[in-house]
Amino acid sequence: MDLWFLGTGAGRPTKERNVTSIALKLPEPCGELWLFDAGEGTQHRLLHTPLKLSKLSAIFITHLHGDHTFGLPGLLSSRSYFETEQPLKLFGPPGIRKMVTTALDISGSRLEYELIVEEISEGTVYEDGLYKVEAALLDHRIDSYGYRITERDRPGKLDSAKLRELGVPSGPLYGVLKGGGDVTLDDGRVIRASDVVGPPVKGRVVTILGDTRPCGNTLKLAAGADVLVHEATFAAGQEEKAFDYGHSTTLQAAAEAKKAGVGRLVMTHFSSRFRLEDLPELEREAQSVFPESVAAYDLYQLSVPQPARSE
């Protein structure tokens, strides 16, 4: 599971930094690509990564401000150039359907795949056998959501040596045991899954927030997450300005990460007043509160490791 920061700026692009978009590359066997926000120029940034637009299966929009959405029409149109019939799911606040369909209709753009648009509210917005995505409202100038992506726990590893010792023939019975079911052999012996399957592999949790002041739902979404992606538009000492504009500072992001007990904080959405050479100081500010803090830059890539098996 890999996070790619395609744009880490706030408001407008600069020579060093594009506006907001984050890609989440899911591991095999899924192997799909999910996108969180799509500011102007997102598809250009994708071209500088190994990520494939043809693998894009879902887009989650946090809020409708242009620095998070103006790249959508072009990206949706470009996906039609790839030979894929896989539908694309687009999740976002009320208004996202009108925004997208108006742009596509007026421009005469035709999509060669099914676009499924779902306008979200708080709660579970997506769920399948591998992942669950929950959304909650944050505190910004317009409705802004955060997303909690939970990977489901996976069965533990089969003890192949023990299975051979017990005389369990390889094949379908292995699958039953792997799935947690007990099996009965031809000689009447019952092999219990709990005796031959290791502890389950705990799923990863990634929390990606839209623009926000510190708020209670940050902690709800981020509790115990392996990675928290939190905006840090302003630096320490600019709390009043951050509040006025509906944003957070480095220290506030770090405080939220500490309270939520996350594994790592990745800050993004930096004001255009900050240059790349300012990032180390912004990191130091956050690390004074939460040591596992990092300031993202465009094309920064982070692998989310698989947690150890639970006991």
What are the binding residues for Zn(2+)?
63, 65, 67-68, 140, 211, 269
Q: State both tokens at 154.
A: 């996976």
Q: State both tokens at 99.
A: 């925004």
Q: 215 — phi, psi (to 5°)?
A: -155, 165
Q: Which long-range contacts (CB under 8 A, 24 or more apart) does 49-56 make?
A: 49/4, 49/6, 49/23, 49/299, 49/301, 51/4, 51/23, 51/25, 52/82, 53/78, 53/79, 53/82, 54/79, 54/82, 54/83, 54/84, 55/31, 56/32, 56/88
3-state secondary structure of 67: helix
Tell whether omega for the bond before 50 is within 30 degrees of 0, i.e. cis.
no
The one catalytic residue among 2, 37, 67, 298: 67
67 is known as an active-site residue? yes
- Torsion sign across C-alpha atoms 25, 26, 28, 30: negative
Q: Which residues are catalytic?
A: 67
